[in-house]
Amino acid sequence: MVRIRTSRLILSSATFEQLTADLLGGRKLAAVLAAHVPETWPPDLYDAGAVQFALDGLRGHGLDFPWGFYYLLLQVPDAVPTLIGAGGFKGPPDEEGQVEIGYAVLPEFRRNGYAAEAVRAWIHFAFSHGAVARVVAQTLSSLPPSIRVAESAGMRLAGFGADAGAPAEEEVLRYEITRADFESER
């Protein structure tokens, strides 16, 4: 299992057991994740299809696969962590060195910078691997908060994306940060 720590979060790569429990509900997930899972779980745009995608990724790559799904856990002093969101990588770097990330946070934890903190951590993690040249994220034009997350994490609008799961009337926007941009900002 991969754990990426930030000042407030633990980004914990999901296991088969956790993802399977996630499909069964918050109580099951809380038990195997050893975290508090709010009644409002799961976040918007995170559904059984996303969990199945993560499970398929683990099946294809194994348990120590760092390029998959993560749970966002808020570190709580002297208490169990609280599950506040989900996200991570949509697979390993492709032949051009590109990885794609996604993210979702429960409504009651938004506007605290948690999503941007997680995205910055995933970007840093990605560029710590020499094979990665570019990190991309896609969002809908109707989701200004998601756009702000990408921009506050240092990503720039790169054009239109192609997310097969988006409604036909929605524009998909593609954000990215290159290794050169990442290194120049550091």
| 67-101: pLDDT as tens digits | 999 999 999 899 999 999 999 999 999 999 999 99
Q: What is the pLDDT of residue 92?
A: 93
What pLDDT is attached to residue 29? 97
Question: For the segment 123-150, what is each residue's pLDDT rounded down to a tens digit?
Answer: 999 999 999 999 999 999 999 999 999 9
Could you tell me which of 129, 128, 126, 107 has the C-alpha nearest to residue 118? 126
List, in order of start, the domains of the chain with CATH numbers. Answer: 3-185 (3.40.630.30)
Q: Give the separation between CA 132 and CA 113, rounded to whole angstroms.
A: 25
Which stretches of 65-186 are DSSP H helices? 114-127, 144-152, 179-185
Residue 38: helix, strand or coil by DSSP?
A: coil
Farthest-apart Cα atoms in the chain, separation: 47
Residues listed for the chain: 186
- Give the pTM: 0.93
